[in-house]
Structure 1
């Protein structure tokens, strides 16, 4: 009978329970030093057959990403469906798994707040034959993974979205779009400092030059091929070359798909932002209009 509340019956691979209150009602703290640690749930065969969703509230402590895998299995040795997801640190998340996902007709589902990149894998399973579930930590940093979790609930109706996530350490992004959870050399102290730095870089731009022998595209001026006006390839009878638009040999070594912009998906996380630019008027160009709620703090800081 739904709703059905599921609680773990066993802990896997040195997952430990921590005593003490969790910030989420009915949640329990867990901690592990290793991957593949997790929780095992068992229930009567077919108990999920009439359910449409699984949900639970979670919160990941610390400041390093961990990735989890929710697995549904047909018996001890049967096929296993997996949904992998990440969590945003220091922000409560609501896991909302649509059980139609077990049909494997869709690879990825939309992120929702601090519940990140839900992706399907493994086997297609029949919910009428599923009698167990696992929740495992499958990727982590060298730091311990500490998280709290409520019981998992199976329902027919979709659980409500989490509209006001808990933020144990306050805002996650500062007034220039930087993480408040991390510190690093050169971190910008304030919007005024960011503006001063950008103005300084603009003033000195005319003094910056590529190394001698390099073209405006970063090509090697001493090796010339046909000029096409585009980056292209050329075979000289012995080897392949990359060629810049002016026809000079070109060596590409570095990051790919580099572009102007650092997009931040903020839907459901508005309360975690110290500053959210106005989407119209002066900061309109910082938004990806017509798409999901996405703001570009790099563009916003240039505008400011």
Structure 2
């Protein structure tokens, strides 16, 4: 069967993150083994080879100014992009290539290149969580979503840090070829079906620095050690010998959340892992500490906008014989 060619142009530059290039490129390449027709071309300003973040010299196929129109334009990220102004030539290259592309996507801090090219104005966007505030300040016309894995706004896609580029590439493959081929790609690469774009960039247990207050560290340790235990506000406050009101004030002041929201996020992370491992929604609710399936369903609706059952069907790597983990 003849494959329709889909041209993917990847804009690279000195100091680019190697994984920002290699992760999505491997997804597209692997998709070709299952019937896709992606043709990858690397372009740079001036057509010169570039040196990656790990010191490897990467040759390119063309000067960005001479490149043909692409079906997908992908812009990688680099550590210098949030620190220094985007090179005018790099921004101009993106601005020139984007209108001729069917869709435009950035990986991690590549969003700063899109921003410099004026491609994020009036659009929703994201980048690595460490740099979302800076992206919002630098490009106030963009609507930055600080905790999304990736964001799609029309034909413009932006993604979070490094491995989120793999999630985004899988989402692009699914847009082109549907979920069945994409599951084959995910299993072959030994990754799960892509995470939902609105899913948090990191688990609740890893969000932000560890609290400085010993009381809060004790509470976090207790919740993480056994999410299924009694972690009502009254029980947590009694555990550390403070009043419920004082514990709530401490959480708000240092962690910008409440004890109950924190407990829910820990249980939510565990429930997702259980669903990924093949548990059904009722089992995941019981084993993660939610008092009922209905409370788990409400948590999923708040955080992902879909039900636990839909999450399990949509975002777990599955085969015809039911959910299973990636093949090794």
Same fold by TM (over 0.5)? Answer: no
TM-score, normalised with respect to structure 1: 0.34
More strand by share: 1
More helix by share: 2
Bigger relative contact order, structure 1 or 2 (CA pairs below 8 A, ≥6 apart)? 1
Larger radius of gyration: 1
